[in-house]
Copies of this chain bind each other. A is one copy, B any other.
Amino acid sequence: MRLTLIVITLFSATIEATLPLWPLPRHLKSGSSTLWMARDVKFSYLSKSNLQNFVGWFWDQVQFPHFESTGDGRHTPAAKRNLAHRAFERMQKRVFEQNLVPSKFNPRGLSFEPSYNVTSALFVKSVDIIEVSSLVHEAIADDIADEAYTIDVNPAGNCRIQVVTIQGAIYALETFAQLFFAHSYFPDVVYLPFAPINIVDGPRFRHRGLNLDISRNQFTSEDVMRTIEAMSSSKFNKLHLHAIDSQSWPIEVPALPKLAREGAYEPVQVLSVTDLKEIQKFGSVRGIEVYLEIDMPGHTTSIGKAYPNLITAPNEPKWQDYALEPPSGQLRLNSSDVYEFVTTLLRDLLPRLEPYTSLFHLGGDELNKNAYNLDPTVNSSSKEVLRPLVQSFVNHAIKSTARYGFTPLLWEEMVLDWNLTLPKNTIIQTWRSTSSLSDVVFRGHKALFGSNSHWYLDCGHGVFLDPADPSRPSSDPMLHPPYEDYCSPYKNWRQVYSYDPLAGMPTSSQDLVIGGEMHLWSELTDSVTLDGMLWPRAAAAAEVMWRGSGARPTEDTTRRLAFLRERLVARDIAAGMVTMEWCLRNQGGCVI
Chain A residues numbered 97-136 whose CB sits less than 8 Å from any CB in chain B: 103-104, 108-109
Q: How far is the CA of A491 from the CA of B489 in the complex (A)?
A: 11
Q: Which 4 A-B pairs have the closest CB atoms?
A: A462-B492, A470-B552, A483-B494, A247-B582
C-beta contact mask, A453-470 vs B, less than 8 Å → 1, else 0?
A: 000000011111111101
* B-contacting 9-mer, from A149-157, A418-426, A522-530: A522-530
Instruction: Give complex CA distance A580, B248 in Å.
Output: 11
Contacts of A484 in B (CB 8 A): 489, 492
State how many angstroms separate the Cβ of A549 from the closest Cβ of chain B.
13
Closest Cβ–Cβ distance, residue A105 to chain B (whole Å) = 11
Query: Size class of A's contact patch?
Result: 35 or more
* Contacting residue for A591 out of B7, B468, B558, CB 8 A: B468
The reply to whether B462 and A495 form a contact with Cβ atoms under 8 Å apart is yes
Given contacts A7-B317, A460-B489, 9 further A-B contacts (CB under 8 A): A247-B582, A464-B579, A464-B580, A464-B590, A465-B583, A467-B552, A470-B551, A476-B592, A524-B576
Tell me the number of copies of this protein: 2
Taking a contact as CB atoms under 8 Å apart, the answer to whether B461 and A481 are in contact is no
Residue in chain B with minimal CB distance to A482:
B495
In whole angstroms, what is the CA distance A129 to B108 when docked?
A: 52
| A579 and B262 alpha carbons, distance in the complex (Å) | 22
- The listed residue (B464, B466, B467, B490) touching A461 by CB distance below 8 A is B490
Q: List 13 A-B contacts (CB under 8 A).
A: A108-B262, A216-B582, A315-B589, A326-B583, A461-B492, A463-B492, A466-B553, A467-B591, A470-B554, A480-B552, A481-B498, A489-B489, A526-B577
Tell me whether A8 is interfacial, beta carbon within 8 Å: yes
> Would you list which residues of chain A between 541 and 569 have a CB under 8 Å from chain B?
551-555, 557-558, 569
Do B495 and A481 have beta carbons less than 8 Å apart? yes
Chain B residue contacts of A222, Cβ below 8 A: none
Alpha-carbon distance A160/B546, docked complex (angstroms): 65
A555–B104 CA distance with the chains assembled, in angstroms: 44
Q: How far is the CA of A582 from the CA of B484 in the complex (A)?
A: 20
Q: Is the beta-carbon distance between A529 and B528 smaller than 8 angstroms?
A: no
CB-contacts of A504-558 with B (<8 A): 523-526, 528-529, 532, 551-555, 557-558
Query: Does A226 reach chain B (CB closer than 8 Å)?
Result: no
- Least Cβ–Cβ distance between A6 and chain B, in angstroms: 12
